[in-house]
Amino acid sequence: MSDPIEMITAFEALDSRGRPTVGCTVVTRGGARGRAIVPSGASTGSHEARELRDGGARYGGYGVRRAVANAEGELFEAVRGIDVTDQGAVDRALREADGTVDGGRLGANAILAVSVAAAQAAAASRGLPLYAAVSEGLRTLPMPMINIISGGAHAARALDIQDFLVVPVGAATFAEAIETVARVRAATGEVLRDRGATWALVADEGGYGPQLSSNREALEVLSDAFERAGLAPGDDIAVAIDVAATQFHFPTEGTYIWETENRRMRADELVEELVAWSTDFPIVSIEDALAEDDWVGWRTATQRLDAIQLLGDDLFVTSPDRLRRGIEEGVANAVLVKPNQIGTLSEAREVVEIAHAAGYATVLSARSGETEDHWLADLAVGWNTGQLKIGSTMRSERTAKWNRVLEIERELGEDIELARPTFGTGS
């Protein structure tokens, strides 16, 4: 039964970094309501959809009053009267109203807020939880990829590598997976204390932000933490890395520079460093190993690191076109999916479907500037992404998503299983 969109209200909210973002409520003629507050990234690729910010003195120029006005104005007029349960029609109308490739005229932040709020309203109209409303088949709970140590743009560049994460590969349930990682995080704090590392800083995504002697030392800390927690590397627990190489790439020089180690490398040298790490540590996934437009370097990485998951974030920016190019050129084997990189849920879901059809793995991901909403967790279940990357096991904007998956697991019981990603073509 059709349930047309009848009203949209929006407001300026705050994300987890204290910066403004767009909150939105969609109301249908039948009385269904959906609400969403959208996230914002710090480590952003140049090919991402464009948020609309106000400039000026308020919030250092990060205000979003214009985006809020657009949500209640032009975007509302574009979707008014459309059946809220037809997500494709809603999202097409939003993109057509904006009229730009990157969503920058009306604001990708405003567009996504309406898109997600409409999905929430559609689920309410049908009397379903969001994960069930967006699902078209067998659901699995995502394997969590959880932040433990941060650097780069997430931790005042205390390290060059942006994130060191762990994957509880031996867990039988999602609840066990979260419990395992909580043990690792506690043990990591003990190891850092024993090493005399300064780790008072908590990074944007809830991980530790220690001052260490090198990027490699972070991997040594995790190895010690695994031992202290009584976990078998590779069997119980594994490592994932977000290199975020675009952040330290200097394209005019053709080099990558690690400032904390005073090291200057070519693409092939950076790849060989990652190969060495993958030999010495139980690494199953490397994200953004090379810069966003270093396609030659990415091909080298794909050849040399084919036994693990090579995850494109800045490389693919949740873009169907960029992902198709990667598939055609045999670059990477997995894609990070961030809805706010592309602008609407329909386009983000298209990326998931393209990836799965090509045999690429998918990891649904939060942003460094997150909100208390948990709709991302529902999407990970409903879209069968197989993996979910939110942040650490603390800070409520992170735990809200983990808690939602725990709730879904409790509700569905034996009807749902934890996904078992293969982590690379050579696995």
Over residues 197-248, the pLDDT tens digits come to 866 567 788 899 998 989 999 999 999 999 999 999 999 999 999 999 999 9
Q: What is the mean pLDDT of residues 30-49?
A: 85
Q: What is the mean pLDDT of residues 82-95?
A: 98
Whether pLDDT at 412 is above 70? yes
Helices (H), 99-147: 108-126, 130-133
C-alpha triplet 67, 70, 71: angle, nearest 5°: 90
Are 334 and 312 in contact by the 8 Å Cβ rule? The answer is yes
Percent of the chain having pLDDT more than 70? 96
Q: What sign does the dihedral 353-387-358-343 (CA atoms) show? A: positive
Binding-site entries = 162, 242, 287, 313, 338, 367-368, 389
Tell me whether residue 235 is exposed, middle or buried, using C-beta atoms within 10 angstroms of its C-beta: 0 to 12, 13 to 18, 19 or more: exposed
Binding-site entries for (2R)-2-phosphoglycerate = 162, 338, 367-368, 389
Which of 48, 273, 292, 338 is labelled catalytic? Answer: 338
Q: What is the mean pLDDT of residues 23-36?
A: 98
Q: Give pLDDT, residue 211.
A: 87
Q: Give pLDDT, residue 203.
A: 77
Mark whether 401 is an active-site residue: no
Whether pLDDT at 418 is above 80? yes
Q: How far is CA 242 from CA 63, 159, 413, in A?
A: 29, 12, 32
Domains of the chain with bracketed CATH = 5-127 (3.30.390.10), 143-415 (3.20.20.120)
Q: In whole numbers, what is the pLDDT of the chain averaged over residues?
A: 94
Whether pLDDT at 427 is above 50? no
Whether pLDDT at 251 is above 70? yes
Binding-site entries for Mg(2+) = 242, 287, 313
Q: Give pLDDT, residue 426.
A: 41
Instruction: Tell me the pLDDT band of 425, cut-offs 50, 70 and 90.
Output: low
Q: Give pLDDT, residue 43.
A: 55
pLDDT digits (tens, 9 = 90+) for 121-157: 999 999 999 999 999 887 899 999 999 999 866 455 6
Which of 205, 273, 397, 409 is labelled catalytic? Answer: 205
Q: Give pLDDT, residue 199.
A: 61
Pick the range with the lowest mean pLDDT from 45-49, 167-171, 295-299, 322-326: 45-49
Q: What is the mean pLDDT of residues 311-337?
A: 97
Percent of the chain having pLDDT more than 90? 89
Which of 57, 37, 58 shows the shortest CA–CA distance to 110? Answer: 37
Pick the range with the lowest mean pLDDT from 58-62, 134-138, 233-237, 262-266: 134-138
Q: Give pLDDT, residue 42.
A: 62
Provide the residue type at 372 as one letter.
E
Q: Give pLDDT, residue 45.
A: 63
Mark whether 417 is an active-site residue: no
| CA dist., res. 301 & res. 244, Å (int) | 14
Are 205 and 125 in contact by the 8 Å Cβ rule? The answer is no
